[in-house]
Amino acid sequence: MGRERGADVIATRGGERWIIECKGSGSLPPMDNNYFIGALGELLQRMTDDAARYSVAFPDQPKFRRLWSELPEHPKRSLGLSCLFVSPTGNIVEAW
């Protein structure tokens, strides 16, 4: 556990697949930028199933919401990519 390569979450239901790359917060604020870009890069490399749904997931913090909002709409829309913001209580908000 924790050493296997691949997506963090692969959820299936019937014939549907949802692949999610997850990252937490860094110990220093500048690390969040690296985690954000790293998660996108890792997920892009795993986009091999045209039928799957793809998302990145981050803690629900203003920094990650800002980084997501600054990502241009065209690639998000073209790739069908969403972002899951996870609160400390486990509440999840999906943003497109």
Regarding pTM above 0.85, the answer is: yes
What are 70-82's pLDDT values in tens digits? 999 999 999 999 9
pLDDT of residue 3: 61
What ranges do the domains of the chain cover?
A: 9-95
Query: Residues of 53-68 as b/e, b for ≥16 C-beta within 10 angstroms?
Result: ebbbbbbbeebbbebb
For residues 47 and 41, give the distance between their C-alpha atoms in angstroms, rounded to a whole number. 10
CB 24 within 8 A of CB 60: no
Residue ranges for the chain with pLDDT beneath 50:
1
Rounded (10°) CA dihedral 65, 95, 93, 62: 10
The domain made up of 9-95 has a fold known as: Rossmann fold (3.40.50)
